[in-house]
Every structure is written in structure tokens, then in C-alpha cells.
């Protein structure tokens, strides 16, 4: 820990002087940069701030006014404190100097017995240098830890755990919707750490840079490339803010780098068919003629139209095991990434039968299809649609056969975009003030908005379903309108609020 005025006074070499604090008790926790011994009257010209000044009073002895000016200079330059060794030449501190120190909250300490100032400076400086060395060593440990984890492609959870170990307190990674992605509890249970998390998090505002805020004094730092944050790290405790700040910022960098490397890993896992599908998705195939030629060379029969489909598992497991189960499908089957297997097949293919066959082998798997398209190049859009539908389908009850966009509609679209920071930002922009008000006061206005939207803005029907009389309903609606910042009678406003509320409700169910 840094050396403070209080800790310096507690050192045996200074404690032997029987120190008495005459003023500035609240300033005793000021961190020392250095210790300076001086007897000159023009003390301010030789200091730069945060020094503990030791003196026998010779620079203050000319008059009470000189003593007051000595203290004034120390306060002006930002010195950490003044220690005066009393003796026959300077038996007490003049009242004007004391008043000046007390008015400024400046630590002024007297020693009633003589001490060797050289021993004081040596001991304090040794402690300061040792602390500086310890900080350098700690910074090196932090750098080495996250560098090694990065090279080992450690998962997100391990990076957050390492941050908690280094900070010595609980650390939480959350997304922009205040959903907890990874909790790492230290000195408390995970249940206690996450109690009422969303409400508590909403009371701590998002900061563009690392900083402390909110009623609980959390230290937070955004995670993501500048201008594109997708979450934040929250350090919920810790006595050393400087160390917590260092750990949080380095961990945030490691998390973003890891996220970028996971994307790069995709290409390494692909087989030949997967490589073609990725080329198609990324627009690297070239012309339609080239695409058709490559598709024929891969053994897919020519067809007037094609459809893209994607299979994935509901639980975390190697997706390679899905490929053999899809081996009878007459088209391309290739790994797209760590969770998706892509298919490109003629539009006439019976994908419902393929889905049932897949479920018979892998009951935890789903197969989703995009829309049929004419030609090969347009199947990229069909594949993207299928991937989005598959991501939604794994969160919904199983269906008999292949899942399509018509099966999931708007809730499915929002569910597929739930990890997109833009959707989270939209929901926060629409509902943030209301949700913060709810977190502070618990007034039930969120439920009232949900009921209001469910009845299409009909106030008479709202009064019935909400079991409220109009005398209490109208003020609540006015307050609701103030918080969302848009007129509730406007159909466009209700549509935006409905989409935002649906996205918010889905995020809480995950």
C-alpha cells in the first residue's frame, strides 16, 4: 500500500518523538511522494507537492506572521503535511499558524522529543521506494498473467476469474443490458454477489472510461473497441483503487482480444465444404458462373433454386458430431464456426425429413432453414437467415421438423439479435430512464407500460385489466410518459416501446 502521513507518523523512528496532531486529522491519509527537511523561510520555492516537511522551526521563528506564512506556502504548494520538532529555540506553534493550518485542513504535527531527521527520511524513503517497486512488480504480474492467458486462448470465464484473483475482490462481466455474462465472486458467495444485480447495476451509470460511480462505489471499465463497447467489467470492492483500475483495464483488453481471436479461429476449423460456405457468406466467390462451377465441382447437383440451412445443438458440445448425422442431405454440409453447421441444398430437398432424421440421432439438435433463392450467390442471404433462426430455435420449445422464420416472427428476430450491442443500446435508450426509476422506487410503472401496450393504448381497457380507477391511472400514465420521453398516444412511440420492452423481457429470461 502507498505510504501516507498517518503511516509515516506510526513508524518507530517518528513515533519515538511523541507526535501530536494539532490540525488536519482528515488529511493524514494523504499519500506521500517524498520527505523534505527544511529550515528556510521561502519553503514554497523548493517543493512540488505531496511532501512531508520536517523542520525545527527556524524558518518560522522570526515572528507569528512568519510562521503563518510558512504554513500558507505549504498549503499553496500542496504539501502533504508539516512536522515540527519542538525545543528550546521553538517551544510552541503560534496561534496564527495553527489557525491557517486548521482552516485548510492541513496536517500540522509537533514532536515533543528529539528525533534524527536523517533516520526519518531514510525510513520513509525506503518505504516509498519499496512501494513503488511493489507497484512495478504487480503491474508486471498483471501483464504476464493476461499475456499467458491470451496465448493459451483462455475462455472468457478464466479471464474474469484471473481479474478477480489479481484485484482481490469480486469482478463481474455484464453486457449493455445489465445481464451478467461471467461472475467471479471473492470473499462472498455468487448468490450474494448477484442479488438484485440488474437494479444495482442500473444505479451505476455507464462510463466511457474507467471510473468509480454509483451508490456502491463500483469501479467499472467498458469492454470493446473504442466506440463499440459490448459490455463492461464491474469491480465491486477492493481497497486499492489504483490496482483495481490496472487489473480491470488489462482484463478488458484481454477479453476483447480473445473475442476477436475466437472469430479468427473459425477459419481454422473448416473443411472444404465449410470453406466454400464461408467464402459465399463473405462475398469471396466471385461471379455467379464461378460459384455455380465450384458448387458442381463439389458434387452438388445443378438446380434452378437453392436454400441455405443451419444446424446447431441446444447445449454446448462439439458440432463436428452433427456433420455425419447430416450426411444423407444432397448438398454441402460444412462447419461454419464453433456452434453452427451450414448446409446448401437444392430447394426441392425435404428439410423437414432431414430435421427429423437429425433429431433421431441428436435429440438436442435443431435444423433451421432460410428462404429459397434462385442461383448460388443469393444463398448467402438464405444462410444468414437460417443461422439467425437456428439461434432463436434453440431457446424455444422443439418443433416437429425444420424451423423457419415464419415459426419465430418478431420475437425470434429480437432473440437472434440479443447479443447485438445496437439492440441493447436501443432498448436502453427507450427504457433506460424508466428502468432506473423502477430500480430506485419500485413503482410498478414497467408493468403498467407492459399492460398499456398489451391493450393497444386503450385507457378504458387498461383501467379494467390493471384494476385501477382513472383518478390514479392518469397521473401514473403521465409519469410514465415523462420517463420514456415520448407521447404514449402516438402509435410509432408505442411500437418502439413495445419492441424495446420485448427485447428487455427476453434478455431477463435468458
- What's the CA gap between 113 and 125, in Å, rounded? 22
- What's the CA gap between 80 and 220, in Å, rounded? 29
- What's the CA gap between 93 and 109, in Å, rounded? 10
Fold annotation for 153-265? Beta-Lactamase (3.30.450)
Residue 181 pLDDT: 79
Whole-number average pLDDT of the chain = 87
Residue 213 pLDDT: 92
Residue 71 pLDDT: 94
Per-residue pLDDT band for 487 (boundaries 50, 70, 90) equals: very high
User: Picking from 43-47, 259-263, 460-464, which range would have the lowest pLDDT averaged per residue?
Assistant: 259-263
Q: Where are the domains of the chain?
A: 5-125, 153-265, 269-415, 421-509
85: left (phi over 0), alpha (psi -120 to 50) or beta: beta
For domain 5-125, give the CATH number.
3.40.1390.20
Per-residue pLDDT band for 261 (boundaries 50, 70, 90) equals: low
User: Picking from 251-260, 368-377, 404-413, 427-436, which range would have the lowest pLDDT averaged per residue?
Assistant: 404-413
Q: Per-residue pLDDT for 225 more than 80? A: no
Per-residue pLDDT band for 59 (boundaries 50, 70, 90) equals: confident
**Residue 358 CB burial class (10 angstroms; 0-12, 13-18, ≥19):** buried
CB 383 within 8 Å of CB 310: yes
Residue 365 pLDDT: 92
- pLDDT tens, 443-465? 889 999 999 999 998 988 988 98
Residue 338 pLDDT: 82
- pLDDT tens, 109-165? 999 999 998 888 888 888 877 766 767 788 888 999 999 998 888 888 899 999 999
Residue 1 pLDDT: 60
pTM tops 0.75: no
- What's the CA gap between 325 and 79, in Å, rounded? 75
Per-residue pLDDT band for 63 (boundaries 50, 70, 90) equals: very high
Per-residue pLDDT band for 268 (boundaries 50, 70, 90) equals: very low
CB 106 within 8 Å of CB 24: yes
- pLDDT tens, 305-335? 999 999 998 877 777 678 777 878 888 888 8
Q: Strand order in 218-223's β-sheet?
A: 180-184, 171-175, 231-235, 218-223, 211-213
In which element (H, E) is residue 82 found? strand 81-85
Q: Mean pLDDT, to the nearest integer, of 342-368?
A: 93
Q: Do domains 5-125 and 153-265 have the same CATH topology?
A: no
Amino acid at each position: 500500500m502507498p505510504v501516507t502521513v498517518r503511516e509515516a507518523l506510526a513508524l518507530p523512528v517518528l513515533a519515538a518523538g511523541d507526535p501530536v496532531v494539532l490540525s488536519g486529522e482528515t488529511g493524514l491519509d494523504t499519500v506521500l511522494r517524498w520527505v523534505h527537511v527544511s529550515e528556510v523561510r521561502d519553503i514554497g520555492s523548493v517543493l512540488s507537492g505531496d511532501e512531508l516537511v520536517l523542520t525545527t522551526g527556524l524558518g518560522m521563528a522570526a515572528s507569528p506572521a512568519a510562521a503563518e506564512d510558512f504554513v500558507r506556502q505549504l498549503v499553496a504548494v500542496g504539501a502533504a503535511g508539516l512536522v515540527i520538532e519542538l525545543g528550546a529555540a521553538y517551544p510552541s506553534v503560534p496561534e496564527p499558524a495553527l489557525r491557517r493550518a486548521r482552516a485548510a485542513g492541513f496536517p500540522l504535527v509537533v514532536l515533543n522529543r528529539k528525533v534524527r531527521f536523517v533516520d526519518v527520511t531514510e525510513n520513509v524513503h525506503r518505504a516509498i521506494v519499496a512501494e513503488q517497486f511493489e507497484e512495478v512488480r504487480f503491474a508486471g504480474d498483471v501483464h504476464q498473467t493476461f499475456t499467458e492467458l491470451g496465448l493459451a486462448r483462455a475462455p472468457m470465464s478464466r479471464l474474469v476469474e484471473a481479474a478477480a484473483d489479481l484485484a482481490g475482490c469480486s469482478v463481474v462481466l455484464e453486457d449493455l443490458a445489465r445481464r451478467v455474462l461471467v461472475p467471479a465472486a471473492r470473499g462472498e458467495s455468487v448468490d450474494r454477489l448477484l442479488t438484485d444485480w440488474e437494479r444495482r447495476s442500473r444505479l451505476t451509470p455507464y462510463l466511457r472510461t474507467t471510473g468509480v460511480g454509483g451508490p456502491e462505489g463500483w469501479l467499472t471499465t467498458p469492454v470493446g473497441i473504442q466506440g463499440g463497447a459490448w459490455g463492461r467489467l464491474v469491480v465491486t470492492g477492493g481497497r486499492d483503487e489504483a490496482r483495481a483500475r490496472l487489473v480491470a483495464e488489462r482484463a478488458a483488453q484481454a477479453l476483447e482480444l480473445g473475442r476477436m481471436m475466437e472469430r479468427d479461429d473459425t477459419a481454422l476449423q473448416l473443411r472444404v465444404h465449410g470453406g466454400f460456405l464461408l467464402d459465399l457468406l463473405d462475398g469471396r466467390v466471385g461471379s455467379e458462373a464461378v460459384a455455380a462451377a465450384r458448387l458442381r465441382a463439389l458434387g452438388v447437383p445443378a438446380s434452378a433454386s437453392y436454400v441455405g440451412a443451419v444446424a446447431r445443438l441446444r447445449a454446448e458440445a462439439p458440432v463436428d458430431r452433427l456433420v455425419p448425422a447430416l450426411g444423407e442431405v444432397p448438398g454441402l454440409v460444412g462447419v461454419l464456426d464453433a456452434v453452427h453447421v451450414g448446409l446448401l441444398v437444392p430447394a426441392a430437398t425435404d428439410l423437414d425429413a432431414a430435421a427429423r432424421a437429425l433429431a433421431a440421432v441428436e435429440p438436442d439438435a435443431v435444423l433451421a432453414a432460410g428462404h429459397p433463392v434462385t442461383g448460388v450467390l443469393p444463398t448467402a442471404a438464405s444462410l444468414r437467415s437460417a443461422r439467425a433462426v437456428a439461434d432463436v430455435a434453440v431457446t424455444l420449445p422443439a418443433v416437429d421438423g425444420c424451423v423457419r422464420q415464419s415459426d419465430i416472427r418478431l420475437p425470434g428476430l429480437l432473440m437472434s439479435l440479443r447479443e447485438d450491442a445496437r439492440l441493447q443500446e436501443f432498448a436502453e435508450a427507450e427504457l433506460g430512464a424508466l428502468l432506473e426509476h423502477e430500480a430506485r422506487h419500485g413503482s410498478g410503472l414497467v408493468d403498467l407500460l407492459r399492460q398499456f401496450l398489451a391493450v393497444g393504448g386503450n385507457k378504458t381497457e387498461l383501467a379494467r385489466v390493471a384494476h385501477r380507477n382513472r383518478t390514479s391511472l392518469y397521473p401514473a400514465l403521465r409519469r410514465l410518459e415523462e420517463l420514456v420521453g415520448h407521447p404514449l398516444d402516438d402509435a410509432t412511440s408505442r411500437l418502439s416501446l413495445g419492441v424495446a420492452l420485448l427485447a428487455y423481457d427476453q434478455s431477463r429470461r435468458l
